[in-house]
Chains A and B, each alone.
Chain A
Amino acid sequence: MNKKRLRDLFIIFFRIGGFTIGGGYAMLPLIERELVLERGWLSEKEFLDIFAIIQGIPGVIAVNSALYIGYKLEGISGAISAGAGMSLPPVLIIFLVIRLFFQARGLPVFEAFFSGIRSCVVVLIFWAGYRMGKKAVVSGKSIFYTLGMIVGLEVFNLHPIILIIIAGLAGLIFAEGEEKKTDDTI
């Protein structure tokens, strides 16, 4: 185990996690620059492979990238260093912001400002769904999964996790699983 590299992993991912606004996919080019181009710890091919694997794993994309790369380079300690580096900045930033947020809450100006923001956030979530849909809902069969989820939620009041499991099982049984270039960027 290389102690210096463990520390470097923490620092690199802390820096990336602390200065990127926009989540996982916005961080990938930064990770590539630091680890592939500047340090040569990963080859370009390894990086692309990791990127592909991350897309198949549940969870937070940014954190998963850090965990996977850390694990690949330095085992479990590496995963923990890199994962902690990636997760700490948002935790610390939220701790700082949250006091202000609760102090401001209830002020009429704040309420007016956030009344506008709430409408916008609904739209942003819609847009994320729309962009995902353009890539994921590509055939008559895939529309069936989308509609099945909506019916399951709205008509049968099932828990989303149950429906995700059903969708995964249905995919196992009915999907062709043919090789295709997928890109889950949202």
Chain B
Amino acid sequence: MILFELYFIFLKIGLFTFGGGYAMLPLIQEEMLGRGWLTAAEFLDIVAVAEMTPGAIAVSNATFIGYRLAGIPGALATTLGLISPSLIIIIIVATVFKKFKDNPLVRRAWEGIRPAVVGLIFATVYSLGKEAINSVEGMIIAIIALGLVAGTRLHPIFIIIISGFLGLGFTYLPLSHLPSLLPF
């Protein structure tokens, strides 16, 4: 049954997301692209929509993916799956461990997990980038986006929209032959 499967996949994702929305993306990518349920392009479109709309990004992602795969019931299955482990963990933490964050075991586990998640995100960037940035135009847009995100305080939404217009420009304006003149 796809609904149960979606629920448990997202339960697993919620349980092993350490570090918020972006740390969740590699797990979603592994589960969805690995099963062939989404393509890299679809996945990136979904992340873009989630980033541009209000609300918790991870919830938007889960809702979108669930809806895309199994309509409204699918969206509810993924979203509830994502949240259920948190509810249980929080009740346990709030009642049992008064000093959860100061617990040396928790702190030591995090010391290993945190840098590992960084590696996980970079590996995801590499595999998504290989598929999504496959033209000189795409490369130029990526470099401009990186310049904007690193060098300005623009909200990511604006950088996403600017990149969208660059995509339009490269497709419809005569400057689309320009990259072929560049030396790389």
Q: Which residues of A contact B (CB under 8 A)?
A: 17-25, 27, 49, 52-53, 55-64, 67-68, 71-72, 76, 79-80, 83, 86-87, 89-91, 93-95, 97-98, 101, 108-109, 112-129, 132-133, 135-137, 142-150, 153-154, 159-161, 163-165, 167-172, 174-177, 179, 182, 184, 186
Contacts and interface: CB of A to CB of B under 8 A. Distances in A.
Interface centre among B20, B87, B106 (most CB of A within 10 A): B20
Contact of B45 (A118, A132, A163): A118
Given A117-B167, A186-B22, 19 more contacts: A62-B56, A63-B58, A67-B83, A83-B83, A83-B87, A90-B56, A118-B138, A120-B160, A120-B162, A123-B145, A125-B124, A129-B118, A136-B115, A145-B114, A153-B119, A163-B120, A168-B109, A171-B110, A184-B20
A184 B18 CA distance: 10
B2 interface: no
B110 A122 contact: no
B179 interface: no
Nearest to A168: B109
Interface string B77-114: 00100110111011101100000111011111111111
Interface residues of B, number: 104
Top-9 shortest CB links A-B: A116-B167, A171-B112, A90-B55, A149-B119, A129-B121, A120-B163, A167-B116, A112-B171, A59-B86
Interface of B: 12, 14-27, 30, 41, 44-45, 47-60, 63-64, 67-68, 72, 75-76, 79, 82-83, 85-87, 89-91, 93-94, 100-102, 104-125, 128-129, 132-133, 137-139, 141-142, 145-146, 149-150, 155-157, 159-160, 162-168, 170-172
